[in-house]
């Protein structure tokens, strides 16, 4: 019988790779990094046979010519390798991925699939830090969190529940871990692609539309625009969300609309859809918070949590 043995939620930031020496709050950064390493050790101890890796897209693997709400990689998977993250082919558990895709469709989710998927740091950051040294294949699941209209938070929770059912019904006796990569609160200087204002927003929208074959040509200016942004971290929201995870009530996030979540915690908080899917796949087992650090240099509230179903519900 297939078993879900662990869930992990973790923030990501490529600035860990590119601007570590410019990080002012080095003590916070080191504590966050140590929390990632601790989560990596928990994953190693759980001995998963495969990892369902739920992450976001930052317009390096998907572009505005086609943006599905949910996409599962069922064949080749290549990481774009931006900002010092892993680059090149990633090992996919193809039979499990295809079984999950079929099961989710049967369960009423018109999920897209890709036999040649390109991912970016929305998932490869987790490969770099959480799966470092672990010889384990992934099943990549990409969630649209930046190109409105976005899937509702309720739909994401439902997908997590359906994913749980699909995993538990999978043939064999595999041990599966689920990772949600993204968040917490942060605001990126990214436009609503439907109504860009000013030179920078028009440039970004054009990059998102035209970047499929040459995204690297846009990357330097993209980074400049992001680095010029001011941090907008809501520590109260972050701590409240982490408390919900601790008490197995992360489903409360579905009470937010997309607009309300952006107002409360920034457009980057839309990535919490990945945590919500992971938590629902773990049946909202109570989480252990391994770390939380607000890092304005990285524009983001950085958190790490582990959900161990062996702990049971309190």
Consecutive H or E run containing 179: strand 175-181
For the chain, report the end-to-end CA distance as a whole number of angstroms. Answer: 25
Cα–Cα dist 111/73, whole Å: 11
Query: Is 12 designated active site?
Result: no
Is 197 an active-site residue? no
Q: What is the distance, to the nearest Å, from the Cα of residue 229 to the centroid of all Cα atoms in its chain? A: 21
- List b or e across 86-96, with b for residues whose CB sees 16 or more CB atoms inside 10 angstroms: beeebebbbbb
- What is the rounded distance in angstroms from the CA atom of residue 51 to the CA atom of residue 299? 28
Looking up tokens 């701590």 gives 239
Query: What is the H or E stretch that residue 53 is in?
Result: strand 50-56
Phi, psi of 133 (to 5 degrees): 80, 0
Secondary structure tally for the chain: helices H, strands E: 10, 9
**Can you say how many angstroms the Cα of residue 193 is from the centroid of all Cα atoms in its chain?**
21
Give the 3-state secondary structure of residue 87. Answer: strand
* Annotated active-site residue in 12, 58, 121, 284: 121
CA 143 to chain centre: 8
Closest Cα to residue 53, out of 104, 18, 17, 93?
93
The phi and psi torsions of 256 (rounded to 5 degrees) equal -90, 140
Just list the catalytic residues: 121, 186
């Amino acid at each position: 019988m297939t078993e879900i043995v662990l869930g992990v939620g973790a923030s990501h930031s490529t600035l860990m790779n590119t601007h570590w020496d410019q990080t002012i709050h080095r003590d916070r950064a080191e504590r966050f990094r140590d929390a990632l390493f601790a989560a990596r050790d928990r994953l190693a101890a759980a001995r998963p046979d495969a990892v369902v890796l739920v992450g976001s897209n930052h317009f390096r693997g998907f572009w505005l010519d086609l943006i599905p709400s949910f996409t599962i990689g069922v064949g080749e998977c290549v990481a774009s390798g931006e900002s010092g993250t892993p680059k090149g082919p990633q090992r996919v558990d193809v039979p499990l991925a295809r079984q999950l895709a079929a099961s989710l469709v049967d369960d009423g989710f018109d999920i897209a699939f890709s036999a040649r998927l390109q991912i970016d740091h929305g998932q490869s950051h987790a490969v770099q830090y959480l799966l470092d040294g672990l010889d384990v294949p992934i099943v990549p699941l990409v969630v649209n969190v930046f190109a409105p209209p976005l899937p509702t938070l309720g739909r994401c929770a439902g997908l997590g529940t359906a994913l749980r059912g699909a995993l538990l019904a999978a043939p064999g006796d595999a041990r599966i871990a689920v990772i949600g990569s993204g968040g917490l609160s942060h605001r990126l200087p990214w436009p609503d692609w439907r109504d860009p204002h000013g030179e920078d927003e028009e440039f970004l929208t054009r990059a998102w539309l035209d970047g499929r074959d040459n995204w690297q040509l846009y990357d330097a200016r993209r980074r400049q625009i992001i680095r010029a942004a001011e941090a907008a971290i809501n520590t109260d929201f972050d701590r409240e969300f982490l408390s919900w995870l601790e008490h197995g009530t992360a489903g409360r996030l579905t009470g937010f609309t997309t607009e309300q979540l952006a107002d409360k915690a920034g457009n980057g908080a839309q990535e919490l859809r990945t945590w919500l899917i992971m938590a629902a796949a773990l049946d909202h087992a109570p989480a252990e918070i391994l770390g939380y650090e607000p890092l304005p240099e990285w524009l983001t509230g950085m958190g790490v949590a582990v959900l161990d179903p062996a702990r049971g519900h309190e």
